[in-house]
Amino acid sequence: MHVEIWHNPACGTSRNTLALIRHAGIEPVVVEYLRTPPDEARLRQAIADAGLAVRDAIRSKQPEYAAQGLDDPDLDDDALLDAMLATPVLINRPFVFTPLGVRLCRPDSAVVLDILPPCGGPFRKEDGELVLDESGRRVR
């Protein structure tokens, strides 16, 4: 199965998502989007395919968000996308792409399980939280 993740290795949620993909037996294409940002068409499509509004895909907690005045509710999607492309740290992460769909796996990395084949065995996040039990069933 072809899987791609827009990854930030400094982000725990992104690292946990990548680990879950690998736990499913898949070595994904890892795109460090801060180094290699998507183009406008790909970013727009990723957001749409994930079923999100553009505002849902922007990292509003980044200092750049307030500094650029992106909290202005009158800004349209094009203005937000332009900001995300100019300042890739504003792109929320991680986005994961599989033949089963596209998901923004934030705030919960376990969302990736919705678009992966079944996993076997237990899995714990970096912080020790159990995500999959001994049978590979999702723990909620």
Q: Indicate which residues carry an active-site annotation.
A: 11
For residue 25, is it left (φ>0), alpha (ψ between -120 and 50) or beta?
left
Contacts 24+ apart (CB under 8 A), 61-68: 62/89, 62/90, 64/89, 64/90, 65/90
Question: Looking up tokens 């998507």, which residue turns up?
Answer: 38
Peptide bond into 107 cis (omega under 30): yes
**Helix (H/G/I), strand (E/B), else coil: 115:** helix
Q: What are phi and psi of 26, to 5 degrees?
A: -115, 130
